């Protein structure tokens, strides 16, 4: 048996199949926009946040029905993070000041807390 350690999403120990993701395959390339495209990029961000939150909440309901609300609550926490105004403000700041695309700005903002806990 192999033992893998990662960032816990829920307290406790889990024994079972694991999906290992290669983080190198998920690097977002640095891309920029023109200063005239900031408003459009904010709209892309807004739509992305909305769609991601809808998808996560839908999955939350499915998981809660299948294995229990305490497990569905994990995805509820993810949805709250997706919709967090502080994170959105940080992303928008990078878009408006550095002219990064929404995807790249999001990746920069999300790397900070991950680096702090690993």
Residue 7 lies in a domain: no
1, part of any domain: no
What pLDDT is attached to residue 14? 66
Query: For the domain that residue 52 is a member of, what is the CATH number?
Result: 1.10.274.10
Contact predicate 30/100, CB 8 Å: yes
Provide the pLDDT for residue 24.
56
Residue 12 lies in a domain: no
Q: pTM score, two decimals? A: 0.74
In a domain, 27, yes or no: no
In a domain, 13, yes or no: no
Q: Is 72 a member of any domain? A: yes
Q: What is the count of structural domains for the chain?
A: 1
pLDDT for position 113: 74
Tell me the mean pLDDT per 10 residues along the chain, length 118: 66 67 71 97 98 96 92 93 96 98 95 74
Range of the domain at 99: 38-117
Axis crossing angle, helix 85-98 with helix 38-67, rounded to the nearest 10 = 150
Residue 32 phi, psi dihedral angles, 5° rounding = -120, 165
């Amino acid at each position: 048996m192999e033992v893998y350690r990662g960032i816990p999403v829920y307290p406790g120990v889990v024994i079972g199949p694991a999906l290992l993701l290669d983080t190198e395959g998920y690097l977002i390339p640095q891309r920029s926009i023109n200063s005239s495209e900031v408003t459009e990029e904010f709209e892309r961000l807004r739509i992305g946040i909305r769609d991601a939150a809808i998808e996560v909440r839908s999955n939350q309901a499915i998981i809660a029905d299948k294995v229990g609300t305490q497990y569905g609550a994990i995805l509820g926490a993810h949805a709250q993070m997706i919709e967090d105004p502080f994170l959105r403000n940080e992303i928008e700041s990078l878009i408006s000041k550095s002219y990064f695309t929404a995807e790249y700005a999001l990746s920069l903002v999300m790397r900070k807390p991950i680096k702090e806990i690993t």
